[in-house]
Structure 1
Amino acid sequence: MKGLSNLVTLILIIGVVVASSIIFYLWETGFQSKISRQATASKGTILKIEGISLENGTLHVFVRNLGEAKAIVDRVYLVDPVDGEVVLELVPAGSPVVIGGEELREIIAISPMPVSGKYVVKIGSQEGVEVITGTSYYLELKAFGIRINEVEANPPGSDRGYEWIELYNPTPNPIDLAGYEIWDKNPGRKLCTIGVNCVSPSTVIPPNGYLVVGGWSGFLNNRCNSKDGVVLKNSAGEIVDETPLFCDEWNTAESYQRIPDGVGEWSFSLSTEGFSNRIIKLYINEYEANPPGNDLNSEWVEIYNPNDFPVDISYLRLYDANDHYRRIDFNSIVPPHGFFVFEIPGRILTNSGDKAILKSPRANGPVYDETPFLVDRENDNNTWQRSIDGGSEWVFKAATKGSSNG
């Protein structure tokens, strides 16, 4: 019996050792390899150039982010396909360009000099991002110099002395604009000369940078029955760039601008004075349609600014779902990463269901944000609000008027 007992014990020990070995092997080859694969997948983002196009002498590069993390592109390189040397470095319009996870993005680059020949196109991104390039392409690019990038012909309040234009330098070198002249198109008057009677922080525009010029005593015509435009001439009187004819009848903080910088179509959007043109994002962050007591003059919405700069929303309009609106007052500024509460005169929001829309007064003008359709039958201090500032989820809870929703 004792020998049998010892044999059973030995078999049990062998079984435990074998089972342990199997478990350890599975852990090593399965669980550990899974961790390894996850780590490898999260090490870096991969950007792939999927193709290019040429439009009006500008280079359009289509880049796909194959990863989940966002990536930043701040350079486009033209590379000799034979020796691999960089021939020309370009800065994308609106640089740095942010490409979200799994997003396909069009990047536009303009050249400071004529380009004709076969090149490999590459892009520059932050450290640790792998870039997959395509084949070589035959490129024909125009030379672009100083561009009129933005015009404010009808600023909020008084126009005299407050109209301005923004110039953009797409080249890699600073350019001194002393002696350059700003003209209008209708009736064709010289407004001022840079370095003489224009107002600007400098006469030198930095590489891939901006210079805001204003200070003339006359006016740009802003009525649509007498359209106007702006012309930039060099010191020799030659036209460097000009805008199309346009009109700006609305006294908002929206300017006439190219989006993206230097090459985009002209349109009206909230001013980006002194920095890259874009559609500025704002959020209707909180919505009070049924405050305690009488709703008259007590409804309000809160607007959140996620940007690093203040945004002037003077004379924009807040609409309801039935196209009723109230105009936002003059000198209404939303601070960077801050909040602005618009106290609605009278009442326009319907408690049984409505929405708020922040948009331009212009026909077919930009819509800066809108809420979903919301119902507020509770005559209390609860509001509809984004669960986090600027987030997509809406919740109904105690008001956080003028402060973070959490």
Structure 2
Amino acid sequence: MAGIYSGTVLLDALDFALTGSTQSVGRYPDGTPTVRTFRMPTPGASNQLHPPTIYAVTHTPRLPTAADPVTVTAWLGDDSAVLTATLEYRVEGGTTETLPLSPLGGSVYQAHIPPQVQGSRLTYRVVAGDDDGQVARSVEQAYIVDYRAPTIRITEVMADNRTTLADPDEPHAPGEFPDWIELYNPGPDPVDLGGRYLTDDLNDPTRFQIATGTVISPGAYLLFYADNDPEQGARHTNFRLAATGESVALFDHDAGGRQPLDVVTDTMVMQPDVSAGRCGTNGTWHVLDAPTPGRPNQACGTVGYGRADWSLTLSPSPLVIAEFMAHNVTTLEDPDDPGEFPDWIELYNASPRALDLSGKYLSDDVTNPTCFRIPDGVTIPPRGFLVFFADGEPEQGPLHTNFSLNRYGEAIALFDTDEAGRRLLDVRFFGRQWPDRSECRRSVAGGNWVEMCLPSPGWEDGDPFPTPYLPLVLRKS
């Protein structure tokens, strides 16, 4: 018992029995006769009851198919002895359904949403309550069943705009010339970019969220002004571009798993009023001979900056991603692990000489360019192919990566060496894949991509000798 006395007169007392070293006993509400235990003591402050804490909520698979149940996992905590957790979910246009979240031990709770029909957009949240009547609700999350991201390309950027394009939304300073980013929609349908993200920092993919209702028409271009003036309109970002070179990326909305839709990892050092862009809407990046904001890119490949003593010439990398398979069931058996059929990535060397791949990187995440460093001694022959096995088992050999491919869609990226600044050499963003079907280029030297190819790992389509090239790897003793 604890008491307060005035002389010998007892003014107040509490009888208590604590069961934990971090507990306290007090009145709740303050000053009332009701006495209770607190798992979160408040010495010198008003006694408070705290709602449960929802530390994190996630779902897997991130991009489910119509056949997939979705597992929602929540990490919860509370100052109460009794905690109940419920999952609320709703298919767009339907009513809210509830499922109990089952404790798995510790702070982990799980529930399973049954499979939904193709195209369904589903939102969910976690509701946690305790025996004190306190309730917490998580932020609502969403996913789309059998979701296929639209093909939207970053086709041109200018990071040092002096006179090329004036800001159309700057009424007080008509001489404003903001940096700009050009997007292109090669598809047959309009795309609402709302909820998707633009960023100049791959470590901050949600830096600028595009407003709902920002639509890009089929075959059309759309400019965003990178002027750090988002209050000027929906197409004014909250960041500027660096003329010294940086990254520019477009990420999907939350329901699409924030997957990268297109990424430029190095916009190069920009001279005033000179832009960089794609040769063709799906081609490699070059300095352009003339800026074309909102229009198809013109001739590119060589540009001079008006100095007699030098000029800059750019050409595509001779090394490209030529084909891949992210759902290998029977097509190509692992030569280092018979009976296994791993995913695979095929590179092609378009140059007339062998290339040393030592120190270059393969990755399935453009925000992690150093995911898999190609070991020393790996080479690819002139105008030849090389197959890497994306099986997450690098201990099996130099052609086995430390990552696997996601059959529901992600990215494959090829980066240059550390000494070359880890420049992006090639990248392919892909959606859901079908068993034993690959994606390949129309031209192995860098043409547009084709979905649902007949697989040809290690050789060009039509080659009568379907034997993957396996290089001689030299090791230092």
- Establish whether TM, by shorter chain, passes 0.5: no
Structure number with the bigger relative contact order (C-alpha 8 A, sep ≥ 6) is 1
Higher helix share: 1
Instruction: Tell me the TM-score normalised to structure 1 length.
Output: 0.31
Instruction: Tell me the TM-score normalised to structure 2 length.
Output: 0.27
